[in-house]
Amino acid sequence: MTRPDDVPAATNGDLVGAADMADALTAATLVFDDGATQTFTPDGRTTYVEQGRQTAGEWSVVADGSFSSFWPPDYRATYALRWIVEDDSAVGLSFTDDGSGQRFDGRYRTGEVRQLADGVGE
């Protein structure tokens, strides 16, 4: 696979494998239902923008395959990361907080999707 909209083995709600998370997260800016955006960089940094306010954090993949985020000074959370797939194309990612069960759906910003490594979602 070379793009998130080319995920032949994934269906909506499938877990993103640990080996695929970095490519899935850095493929494009995610846009959430409330208009907030989040970008992820390959070096483990993330920027969340809500109503013009920018917050910088860090992200990583935990050994068990969960996604972890850290927002200074002391907020850390882990999430199950799932594909959002429509019409056989990955259109975003769904984050479910391991602690609270709260779910956040982010869709890839149109026209911004970068090439992913072969094998993502397979």
CATH entry, 18-108, from 3.40.350.10, 3.40.50.150, 2.40.128.640, 1.10.1060.10: 2.40.128.640
pTM of the entire predicted model: 0.83
Q: How far apart are CA 67 and CA 16, in angstroms?
A: 10
Q: What is the pLDDT of residue 6?
A: 43
Share of residues in the chain with pLDDT > 70 (%): 84
User: What are 16-47's pLDDT values in tens digits?
Assistant: 999 889 999 999 999 999 999 999 999 999 99
> Considering only CA atoms, which of 54, 60, 55, 64 is closest in space to residue 41?
60
Range 85-118 burial, b when 16+ CB lie within 10 A, else e: beeeebbbbbbbeeeeeeebbbbbeeeebeebee
User: What are 96-114's pLDDT values in tens digits?
Assistant: 999 999 999 999 998 776 6
Q: Tell me the HSE value of 32 on the side-chain side, using a 13 A CA sphere.
A: 14
Q: Which residues pair with 40 in a beta bridge?
A: 46
